[in-house]
């Protein structure tokens, strides 16, 4: 009898502890009403999360299940593939849930829609911490299908504050609509906005709220002029730590001095900045003043922050980015703290990446000629380049056009040609001290780079060199010590199996078998 009582007690205890994550969709459930009556309703106290796909399922769920405080463990709800106008009824019922923390709405939009009521209902949810609302178009023939309207009268701003801490607005939103939303979310810590559009309405500085807890902002596509963006950032949160933004091409967003003043005076706690934009390259060819603002990214402010400005060229498209990257492309042994970092004195703040060329040499030459002014006028310190479809002559030409380079990363080595004269000339002029090679196919490629970069101090090859049997390293000082250190490294790390190493004059000879 005692064992039976104990088993019953343990079962009751287990039943009180276990929580269910329920996912409902037409692919897995044939009789929705029966599922609600036999599974969900009897276990409503144990439901932790609901994920319902399909607008019909969503409507039927709220038809067969009464949402009230009985679902006291329900913390997360995802409603998928539902028409935006049908969301109002479910949201009305969700207000009765005592512990709802997360709400995701993935809705369909047939025509332009005023979604003010939806936002009002979201703001009325008493315990909500995370909210994501996505609008996906169904009527592809309608030109303004993504157009929505959010009008929250100023009279209710001080009457309805939301508890939301993380807000993902995955639909088009104008500047004034975003301000209205933020006025309702004083506890906000993370903001992600999909498309932030300019507005015809006049937004005064005093209308922009200051959110004391907001530390992370991401705007996936920002169409604001930099003046409005700057006004917004100045006011919205002095505690901001992470800012990520993409925009259409505007030179004002590339003004290093304006960014420096904005960060220093208004968001001094910012430790991560990621900015991206792109433009068709022919628009850049004709701009003879772009270098004046881009070269400002080599100032001490950017160097000390460890933030870099990068230009990424992909055939006819050119991308600009600012990012807070402490990583370097040279990645030696991190455990031994021998990773090669860029000294601050090198000012590696402006970098260039050329991702791909065409297979047509004449088009490639035309591309390089068009970029000549930018290459000459901007102080690029690092170059990452894919040389798979260009000749070594063109590669050397690019190096010569970038006289400030100290760091080089090749994703593939160019086709080697007989170019001794130009190779010798450029090798005497360039200042490259750090080199990383990838996709080596023959030892001649390594020798080509060694001849080109005579000032090299750090050299990394991320590829096995085929057919390599002998390596000679010329060392002018402390030869015995370096020989012993190198031999100890090879043995302790098991880098090579069969080899011999000896010192001949100032040369260390490594023989592989």
| Residues of the domain holding 473 | 469-513
- Mean per-residue pLDDT for 186-197? 95
Q: Which of 311-325, 406-420, 423-437, 488-502 has the highest mean pLDDT?
A: 423-437
Query: 485 in a domain, yes or no?
Result: yes
Tokens for 181?
């939303």
Q: What is the pLDDT of residue 334?
A: 39
SS3 461: strand
Residue 263 confidence (pLDDT) above 80 = yes
- Mean per-residue pLDDT for 384-391? 88
Q: Helix-strand-coil percent breakdown of the chain, rounded to 5?
A: 35, 25, 35
Count of alpha carbons within 13 angstroms of residue 56, beta-carbon side: 7
- How many angstroms separate the CA atoms of 285 and 368, rounded? 11
Tokens for 347?
């000012």
Q: What is the pLDDT of residue 465?
A: 64
State the residue for tokens 């009305």.
Answer: 92
Strand-pairing partners, residue 22, are 50
What total of structural domains would you count in the chain? Answer: 1
Tokens for 7?
């088993």
Query: 295 in a domain, yes or no?
Result: no
Query: 507 in a domain, yes or no?
Result: yes
SS3 192: strand
Query: 511 in a domain, yes or no?
Result: yes
Query: 360 in a domain, yes or no?
Result: no
Per-residue CA distances from 131 to 5, 155, 224, 302 (Å): 45, 24, 24, 35
Q: Decide the pairing of beta strands 148-149 and 166-174.
A: unpaired
Among candidates 222, 220, 241, 242, which has minimal Cα distance to 230? 222
Q: Which of 33-42, 332-341, 343-352 has the highest mean pLDDT?
A: 33-42
Residue range 277-299, pLDDT digits in tens:
988 765 666 677 778 888 888 88
- How many angstroms separate the CA atoms of 421 and 130, rounded? 64
- Mean per-residue pLDDT for 271-275? 93
Residue range 100-117, pLDDT digits in tens:
999 999 988 776 677 888
User: What region does 57 belong to: left with phi over 0, alpha with psi -120 to 50, or beta?
Assistant: alpha
| Local structure of residue 372 (DSSP, 8 states) | H
Query: 490 in a domain, yes or no?
Result: yes
Q: Decide the pairing of beta strands 382-386 and 407-412.
A: parallel
Task: Give the pLDDT band (50/70/90) at residue 331.
Answer: very low
Residue range 239-249, pLDDT digits in tens:
999 999 999 88
Residue range 353-380, pLDDT digits in tens:
988 788 888 888 888 888 888 888 888 9
Higher pLDDT, 68 or 507: 68
Percentage of residues in the chain having pLDDT higher than 90: 34
| Local structure of residue 38 (DSSP, 8 states) | I
| Local structure of residue 42 (DSSP, 8 states) | G
CB 145 within 8 A of CB 139: yes
Count of alpha carbons within 13 angstroms of residue 220, beta-carbon side: 10
> What's the chain's average pLDDT?
82
- How many angstroms separate the CA atoms of 281 and 260, rounded? 27
Q: What is the pLDDT of residue 469?
A: 75
Query: 496 in a domain, yes or no?
Result: yes
Give the N- to C-terminal CA distance of the chain in Å, as an integer. Answer: 78
Residues in contact with 98: Cβ distance below 8 Å, sequence separation at least 6, in sequence order = 69, 72, 126, 127
- How many angstroms separate the CA atoms of 160 and 119, rounded? 11
H-run or E-run covering 174? strand 166-174
Residue 348 confidence (pLDDT) above 60 = no
Tokens for 264?
């220093």
Among candidates 147, 206, 151, 212, which has minimal Cα distance to 176? 151
Higher pLDDT, 405 or 506: 405
Least confident of 196-200, 243-247, 275-279, 476-480: 476-480
| Local structure of residue 40 (DSSP, 8 states) | I
Q: What are phi and psi of 314, to 5 degrees?
A: -125, 90
Q: What is the pLDDT of residue 149?
A: 66
CB 139 within 8 A of CB 103: no
Q: What is the pLDDT of residue 15?
A: 53
Higher pLDDT, 112 or 319: 319
Task: Give the pLDDT band (50/70/90) at residue 438.
Answer: confident
Among candidates 249, 196, 242, which has minimal Cα distance to 219? 196
Query: 505 in a domain, yes or no?
Result: yes
């Amino acid at each position: 009898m005692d064992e039976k009582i104990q088993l019953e007690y343990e079962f009751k205890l287990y039943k009180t502890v276990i929580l269910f994550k329920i996912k409902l969709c037409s692919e897995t459930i044939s009789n929705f009403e029966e599922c609600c009556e036999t599974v969900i309703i009897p276990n409503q106290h144990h439901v932790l999360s609901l994920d319902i796909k399909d607008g019909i399922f969503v409507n039927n769920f709220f038809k067969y299940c009464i949402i009230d405080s009985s679902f006291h463990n329900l913390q997360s709800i995802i409603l998928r593939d539902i028409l935006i106008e049908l969301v109002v009824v479910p949201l009305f019922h969700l207000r009765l849930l005592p512990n709802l923390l997360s709400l995701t709405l993935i809705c369909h939009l047939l025509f332009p829609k005023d979604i003010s009521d939806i936002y009002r209902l979201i703001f009325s949810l008493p315990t909500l911490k995370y909210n994501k609302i996505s609008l996906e178009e169904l009527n592809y023939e309608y030109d303004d299908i993504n157009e929505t309207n959010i009008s929250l009268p100023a009279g209710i701003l001080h009457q309805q504050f939301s508890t939301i801490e993380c807000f993902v607005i995955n639909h088009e939103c104008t500047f004034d609509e975003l301000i209205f939303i933020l006025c309702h979310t004083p506890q906000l810590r993370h903001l992600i906005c999909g498309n932030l559009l300019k507005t015809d309405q006049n937004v005064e500085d005093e209308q922009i709220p200051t959110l004391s807890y907001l530390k992370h902002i991401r705007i996936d596509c920002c169409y604001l002029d930099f003046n409005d963006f700057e006004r917004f950032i100045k006011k919205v949160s002095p505690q901001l730590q992470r800012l990520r933004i993409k925009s259409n091409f505007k030179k004002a967003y590339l003004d290093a001095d304006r960014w420096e003043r904005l960060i220093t005076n208004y968001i001094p706690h910012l430790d991560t900045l990621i900015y991206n934009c792109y433009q068709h390259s022919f628009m850049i060819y004709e701009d003879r003043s772009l270098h004046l603002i881009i070269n400002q990214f080599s100032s001490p402010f950017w160097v000390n922050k460890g933030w870099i400005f990068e230009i990424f060229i992909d055939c006819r498209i050119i991308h600009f980015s600012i990012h807070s990257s402490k990583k370097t492309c040279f990645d030696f042994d991190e455990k031994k703290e021998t990773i090669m970092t860029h000294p601050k004195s090198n000012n590696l703040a402006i970098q260039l990446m050329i991702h791909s060329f065409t297979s047509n040499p004449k088009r490639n030459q035309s591309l390089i000629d068009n970029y000549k002014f930018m290459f000459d006028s901007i102080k690029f310190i690092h170059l990452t380049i894919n040389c798979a479809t260009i000749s070594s002559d063109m590669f050397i030409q690019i190096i010569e056009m970038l006289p400030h380079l100290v760091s080089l990363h090749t994703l593939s080595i160019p086709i080697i040609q007989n170019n001794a004269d130009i190779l010798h000339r450029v090798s005497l002029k360039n200042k490259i001290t750090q080199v990383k090679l990838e996709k080596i196919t023959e030892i001649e490629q390594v020798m080509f780079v060694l001849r080109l970069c005579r000032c090299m101090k750090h050299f990394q090859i991320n590829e096995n060199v085929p057919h390599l049997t002998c390596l000679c390293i010329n060392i002018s000082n402390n030869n015995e010590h370096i020989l012993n250190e190198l031999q100890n490294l090879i043995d302790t790390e098991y880098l090579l199996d069969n080899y011999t190493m000896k010192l001949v004059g100032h040369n260390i000879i490594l023989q592989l078998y």
